[in-house]
Amino acid sequence: MITELNHERARVNTMTDDQLITRYGKMKKIEKIEALHSVLCETGRCPTVRNSIELNHPHLIGEVPMVPTNTSTEHWIKKSDQMMSFTEMFGDKKIRIRTYKFNGATVHGLMSDHEYEIDEARHYWCHCVQDEWEVYSG
């Protein structure tokens, strides 16, 4: 990770914000994205890319504080005709992942429904993002 960080420091020091936006758009490997995020946070550079990384990889911004058991937050990702919801149940320390059929405008047809430990679900989320699933906001 130290070599990744040094490589990203060199890039951040020599690139404009527009170049960093383009660079992030081409990145696929989570290790490189994590290194870029670390360097951007440490230097205070390019808040646009930092915010995009945090939206696409929420695990990078730290642990979510514990709140009452009946509280949850939900994130959606989509790819072609499928959509997944990641619902974080804070009090249970689990994430429920549901996969649905998606026809471009309507979510229908629950295909799977599983609960995972938080670390396992976040790893799965990163894998999906690397596999070109897109964050979906409705």
Each residue's pLDDT tens digit, 45-99: 988 888 888 777 766 665 443 333 344 566 777 777 777 777 766 556 677 777 7
Domain boundaries, the chain: 2-61, 72-136
User: In what helix (H) or strand (E) does residue 79 lie, and over which residues does it extend?
Assistant: strand 72-79
Predicted local confidence at residue 66, as pLDDT = 35
- pTM (whole model) above 0.75: no
Residue whose C-alpha is closest to residue 45's, from 12, 72, 94, 78: 12
Helix (H, G, I), strand (E, B) or coil at 104: coil
Q: Which residues pair with 115 in a beta bridge?
A: 96
